[in-house]
Structure 1
């Protein structure tokens, strides 16, 4: 990578940082360092209201749509700043606690990402709150934009533990009933449940006028299936076990995972919900870019 700071976008590096406040800071600084290191040469901007991004510019001013088309960073010269209220919505189900080879669990990956997004929002002076659920909403913090809010969010995130069964759809309906004003709802979950009611609950959030980003987090092993021979699988929520031949089921398993993700991707696209598929081996910058693109597209 092009800078020392950017190494903190890697989950295997972040895993070695115990404190969540430092994880958040390092992930965001690594992301910004990546922006600063990007080349700008050889591209002429068609729009007079843009200029090249320079180190020191607020990254919330970057035109992410221009970046998506050109892979170059430009800022809008004139941009009315509007505050955005955000909710970090965390799945506490037992399945989120799964990890293979002692890397970051899905839950640890999710709270590291949520901490970084909370850090980014507070530094952009956007109010941000936190909701955590399993079979129902267990914890919540109302949105605030004060600097002290970041400490409150990080403190609660650090105390949360994934355990037991979950009811994603029911909990998201509860979240929809809690949020009174148009907000950006960022959901961190493995979405392990019946897709139909979950999709219905997501639609309810959209119909209420909220923008929604789903960070669909799988373990790297769940996404890539690096197993061979006979394998004992255990359900993290019910603790039932099943003995299978890994080589015999690999192709079918990977096809099932791809189909599962594509179902959510397709339904989200039709409802104008941002869907980002992640696994615990992926750098954090993909998720941060999804947030920034969503924030900017808000009209």
Structure 2
């Protein structure tokens, strides 16, 4: 087993841990260990209790102990400022279960990230809930901050499996309609759906006043296209198949992928959404830093 907690940020290592609660804990502990030793040192303090001093704040509220540690001015957050309601939205479509080799598939990778984020939020006393979706909203767990919420949420996540088709746009509309108050919506999906419907669904969330982080999770093979020779490609949701010449197809495929991600990023930017492209080979801390950045921006 690894000597350093940070090694649990590696998906290849975490797949050897069977229990989801331990996966979440190890990922967060590895992340915080790396955060403490990195240029982000002091970020976790700011994240949990403080926000950056800005013009108009009373200088008497500056926390000089934090200034001594970070060389930056921060003020203590009021209780209302520290509370954020988070909602995890998990794509249950069959395509999320795809993997090319024996590693965490897209769904398992997303589940690990969602569990780690829930672990972080509950331990910061932030309410967090869960919605699952395919062509509709399937399960919904309202946000709560009590410790028992973590066990309930992780239990629900561990029982999920990716099956069927998806309708991203309709699901996001339904999600927006179910929430009365502003939330930080953390979406985990491979986004293999109609681009116009994806954009429409995201608009609904933003029009509802929600902050959104879009974790776009692909398999490592989907971003590297390691296939050789004549390869049969099968759509897991429709079972349609196509035989392609992998070598001849690779350049056009990779260019199309690059264009697709750039378009998604540009559309998200216009809507004020954080777009986080990931694949199943990437360490988990990349996504956790994005969460902390979004959390800090709200302060």
Q: For residue 137 of structure 1, what is the aligned residue in structure 2?
A: 137
Q: For residue 75 of structure 2, what is the aligned residue in structure 1?
A: 78
Q: For residue 248 of structure 1, what is the aligned residue in structure 2?
A: 248
The whole-number CA distance in structure 1 between the counterparts of 2:50 and 2:6 is: 19
- 1:155-211 CA distance string (max 9 Å, x none): 000000000111111111100101110110000000001111111110111111100
The whole-number CA distance in structure 2 between the counterparts of 1:198 and 1:136 is: 14
Q: For residue 190 of structure 2, what is the aligned residue in structure 1?
A: 190
Residue aligned with 1:114, SS? helix
Residue aligned with 2:217, SS? strand
The whole-number CA distance in structure 2 between the counterparts of 1:118 and 1:186 is: 11
- Identify unmatched segments of 5+ residues in structure 1: 41-51, 65-71
The structure whose residues are more often helix, as a share, is 2
Q: Does 1:53 align with 2:47?
A: no
Q: For residue 6 of structure 2, what is the aligned residue in structure 1?
A: 6
Gap change, CA 1:74 and 1:90, over 3 Å in 2: farther
The whole-number CA distance in structure 2 between the counterparts of 1:83 and 1:63 is: 13
Q: Does 1:109 align with 2:97?
A: no
Deviation at 1:150, TM superposition (A): 0.3
RMSD over aligned CA atoms reads 2.1
Gap change, CA 1:257 and 1:74, over 3 Å in 2: farther
Deviation at 1:119, TM superposition (A): 0.3
Gap change, CA 1:157 and 1:247, over 3 Å in 2: same
**Alpha carbons 1:106, 1:219 under 8 Å: kept:** yes
- Identify unmatched segments of 5+ residues in structure 2: 53-68
Alignment of 1:81-96 (within 5 A): 81-96=81-96
Task: State the TM-score, normalizing by the size of structure 2.
Answer: 0.88
Alignment of 1:170-181 (within 5 A): 170-181=170-181
Gap change, CA 1:93 and 1:39, over 3 Å in 2: closer
**Alpha carbons 2:47, 2:295 under 8 Å: kept:** no
Deviation at 1:58, TM superposition (A): 7.1
The whole-number CA distance in structure 2 between the counterparts of 1:73 and 1:95 is: 44
Alignment of 1:189-228 (within 5 A): 189-228=189-228
Q: For residue 234 of structure 1, what is the aligned residue in structure 2?
A: 234
Q: For residue 146 of structure 1, what is the aligned residue in structure 2?
A: 146
Residue aligned with 2:125, SS? coil
Deviation at 1:294, TM superposition (A): 0.6
Residue aligned with 1:78, SS? strand
